[in-house]
A and B are shown apart, each in its own frame.
Chain A
């Protein structure tokens, strides 16, 4: 009988000879070294998410589409997720990774919330959640097993009484700015968002910020341009606001679009030649 723990419950194969003088040298062969392969590729994906700071808060926007390649597969997916009363995250990239992340963060927040009853410690601030995400994304990329997302974290810091907006992606890259956008939006929406922001606040950001209405308007404009130009987008999106009052996630909405011009485009409308 081989008493080595590795052999418990394993019957001897018929041909095996047990070496009773070397019980440690199990008859079982050393496992064949196979390289650990993690790296996946995103399957069901969400496109850009946008964020902007405004007077008294921060506003995020994301459309409701989760694509399967070029197929508009799921058209009623929420990509904004509240975490407690002062933080919202918005995800582009792989939706299954985002789903897993939501579950993970919800369970951490639930535990923190439960413990806060007994030891009355303050709840996790947007900065805490952002740093956690940055550490997680960087650790996963360092294991060559990334979470395939680019995320925005928006929040309101009740202690400092100021808004928070941060970016983190699958490489663990992090940065902050008064306006942020991921993916295609980084190219198309960022210039529009920066222009709107700086027109009022100035390039040093010291002037007055946009009002909530103005912020919502500029986000709607950006979502419209993205819908025109981004083939992985849909004209149905939600916005989230975080203020000292808490988190609000809007119902789905859409923007007015005009496709009449397309009739005159060769390859789109009726062909006249």
Chain B
């Protein structure tokens, strides 16, 4: 009779499961972010569309946040987590400044973000972060994170809805993947492109992603962080940027070394 002691699992299951309305604390709000490091600058960009499913919730929601004079953070994923994560990061940066009388350096911010994300390892912030800015040694830098804090420094990174569209393009254009130098020419070195070229790549990435991905569009915000003393004319001079772009210099946030951050914005297609 041992055969019947334990009834098979399917015998316990009700034929019709009750409709259960289990609460899911997460959502995906679409959009895409991107950052590219140059020799002495970094560009951190994101589109401004916020969506849920097929609905566009708003055509303007911020995804890129200036943290200090030399660090800017882009967030992508679940917008509520993103906003609240940035709020906590900014609070920690303020506490740091009160304690140490100087702004936190870029690599320190990157490590802090890791610990903050990993602190929620078992109820994660559903957010992909990309941090860009100027390192203490004056080089442009990009750090990318996964939702639970795994991170690395890179020359460029795309994340979000159109990551799979943009990243291969960046691999080719920034890391020169599948390109071969002409015979006798210099070897390719990633992270040394001029600013105008980088901004062109960012714009192309987003206009292309807008064409092919329904969650990307409406507007583009590019934050350009420049090392102190660097010429800003290639942004501010007329004719340096494609037409239809608005350039705004963001005021200094504290006693930095004189790094400058610019916000370059342009419209994207709204369909």
A interface, CB within 8 angstroms of B: 39, 41-42, 138, 141-142, 144, 146, 167, 170-177, 186-187, 190, 203
Contacts and interface: CB of A to CB of B under 8 A. Distances in A.
Contacts of B61: 175
B80 A138 contact: yes
B184 interface: no
A242 B153 CA distance: 49
A96 to B, nearest CB: 15
Contacts of B80: 138, 141, 171-174
B270 A175 contact: no
A142 B58 contact: no
Contact of A167 (B23, B57, B84, B123): B57
A138 B84 contact: yes
A41 B23 CA distance: 8
A103 B100 CA distance: 44
B188 interface: no
A175 B55 contact: no
B19 to A, nearest CB: 10
A42 to B, nearest CB: 8
Interface string B113-144: 00000000001000000000000000000000
B75 interface: no
Interface string B86-120: 00000000000000000000000000000000000
A39 B23 contact: yes
Nearest to B83: A174
B265 interface: no
B215 to A, nearest CB: 14
Contact of B23 (A144, A172, A174, A190): A144
B59 interface: yes
Given A138-B84, A141-B25, A171-B25, A177 B79 contact: no
Contacts of A142: 25, 123
Nearest to B55: A186
Given A42-B21, A142-B25, A144-B25, 11 more contacts: A142-B123, A146-B23, A171-B25, A175-B50, A175-B58, A175-B79, A176-B58, A176-B60, A177-B58, A177-B60, A190-B55
Contacts of B21: 41-42
A173 B79 contact: yes
Nearest to B87: A135
B26 interface: yes
A149 to B, nearest CB: 13
A114 B52 CA distance: 41
Contacts of B7: none
Interface in B1-31: 21-23, 25-27, 29
Interface string B128-171: 00000000000000000000000000000000000000000000
A212 B123 CA distance: 46
Interface in B47-81: 50, 52, 55, 57-61, 78-80
Nearest to B57: A175
Nearest to B25: A141
Nearest to B80: A172
Contacts of B25: 141-142, 144, 146, 171
A119 to B, nearest CB: 26
Interface in B22-43: 22-23, 25-27, 29
A42 B52 CA distance: 21
23 contacts: A41-B21, A138-B80, A141-B80, A142-B25, A144-B23, A144-B25, A167-B57, A170-B23, A171-B25, A171-B78, A172-B80, A172-B84, A173-B78, A173-B79, A174-B79, A174-B83, A175-B50, A175-B57, A175-B58, A176-B58, A177-B57, A187-B55, A203-B270
Contacts of B57: 167, 173, 175, 177, 186
Q: Which of B52, B59, B80 has the most CB of A within 10 A?
A: B80
Contacts of A172: 80, 84
A141 to B, nearest CB: 5
A191 to B, nearest CB: 10
A174 B59 CA distance: 13
A197 to B, nearest CB: 12
Nearest to B24: A171
Contacts of A42: 21
Contacts of B52: 173
A49 to B, nearest CB: 15
Nearest to B84: A138
A53 to B, nearest CB: 13
Nearest to B27: A171
A103 B61 CA distance: 31
Nearest to B270: A203
Contacts of A146: 23, 25
Q: Which of A177, A187, A190 has the most CB of B within 10 A?
A: A177
